[in-house]
């Protein structure tokens, strides 16, 4: 997975320890070919809207496949929520009847709980994207990784009104065996991607659309962003890509769990 390093300084250097959350115990808890890789029935779309209950561990392998099967596609939206761009992304998704997975940064969720609730109310799923989007997490101590993952889980769950994230996506793909097992023990399936739209670089809408169309054969999970900068190109790219996917016979679903 490509790392998105430079240009992420807008999050600042947030120190997870300062959040003062007691670390939770970490229980023990690749992409496979998409066709037939769903591993049984997936949770229904309303699963993420069910707060409370005991946490059930999930698989620690990095998920890529779609619960819609061989012609399924997963739209994933990273780094928000953002007060300007998240509502616009939500509008486009609603226009085309598409559900997506929003990989939220803990500090952003904490700052914009109204948007987290709107994402959930629209039937989308939540994903833990760490507290401060540190793309060097895999070089840090296990204690640091734990704070980044578990504090973000708490922040997102509180902002949503009690709805827990169903996935964990490491910033820049900086997974470690430890972080994957920790997330999985908290019921959050590690989430990868197959197609990077490159929207973070703002290459132009045409270039982003061409990238997705060209690289979709790599796998079903597509990466976009709704924060971290001006995202009008992303909004317009989604407006073109979503109907194109339908025309090609794809259905938008959620990553397997």
Catalytically active residues are 78, 225
CB within 8 Å of 8: residues ≥ 6 apart: 133, 135, 171, 228
Residue 34: left (phi > 0), alpha (psi -120 to 50), or beta?
alpha
b or e along 102-121 (b: 16 or more beta carbons within 10 Å of the residue's beta carbon)?
bbbbbbbbbebbebbebbbe
């Amino acid at each position: 997975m490509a790392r998105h390093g430079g240009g992420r300084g807008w999050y600042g250097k947030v120190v997870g320890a300062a959040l003062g959350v007691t670390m939770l115990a970490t229980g023990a808890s690749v992409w496979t070919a998409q066709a037939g890789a769903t591993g049984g029935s997936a949770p229904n779309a309303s699963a993420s809207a069910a707060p409370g209950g005991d946490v059930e561990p999930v698989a620690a392998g990095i998920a890529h496949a779609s619960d819609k099967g061989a012609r399924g596609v997963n739209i994933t939206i990273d780094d928000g929520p953002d007060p300007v761009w998240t509502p616009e992304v939500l509008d486009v998704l609603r226009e085309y009847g598409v559900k997506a997975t929003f990989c939220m940064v803990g500090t952003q969720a904490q700052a914009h709980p109204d948007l987290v609730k709107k994402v959930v109310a629209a039937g989308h799923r939540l994903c833990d994207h760490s507290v401060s989007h540190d793309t060097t997490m895999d070089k840090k101590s296990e204690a640091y990784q734990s704070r980044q993952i578990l504090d973000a889980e708490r922040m997102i769950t509180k902002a949503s009104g009690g709805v827990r994230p169903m996935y964990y996506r490491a910033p820049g793909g900086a997974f470690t065996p430890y972080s994957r097992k920790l997330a999985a023990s908290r019921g959050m399936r590690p989430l990868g991607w197959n197609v990077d739209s490159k929207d973070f670089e703002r290459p132009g809408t045409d270039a982003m659309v061409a990238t997705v169309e060209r690289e979709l054969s790599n796998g079903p999970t597509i990466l976009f962003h709704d924060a971290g900068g001006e995202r009008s190109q992303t909004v317009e790219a989604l407006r073109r890509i979503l109907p194109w996917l339908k025309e090609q016979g794809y259905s938008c679903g959620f990553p397997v769990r």
